[in-house]
Amino acid sequence: MADAGGVAGDRLRSFVERIERLEEEKREVQDQMKDVFAEAKGEGFDVKVMRQVIRLRRLRPNDRSELEELLDLYKSALGMA
């Protein structure tokens, strides 16, 4: 790898190009998401609110039992586990 133009250089280029290809794919997906939001907005939905709804849906499974966890947490912290 000390030789910038040697074999290692080819490996590096290969990795970098793979990453760049994936970045491109990712960007496409993001564009599609943007399109969906734009379409929704065009039908009168509030994009910001939609994002929040989606975020909350993502969270929901975890903190479903958040209250119980909190109780356990306190008990644990107080050495009552």
Q: What residues make contact with DNA under the rule CB under 7 A?
A: 26-27, 30, 33-34, 37, 47-48, 51-52, 55, 58
Give the integer Cα–Cα distance in Å for 63 and 59. 7
12 touching a copy of itself, by CB under 8 A: yes
38 touching a copy of itself, by CB under 8 A: no
Cα→Cα distances 58→35, 43, 50, 54, 70, Å: 21, 24, 12, 6, 20
Applying the rule CB under 8 A, the residues between 39 and 78 that interact with a copy of itself are 39-40, 43-46, 49-50, 52-54, 56-57, 67, 70-71, 73-78
Residue in this structure with the two tokens 């929704």, named with its chain if needed? 40
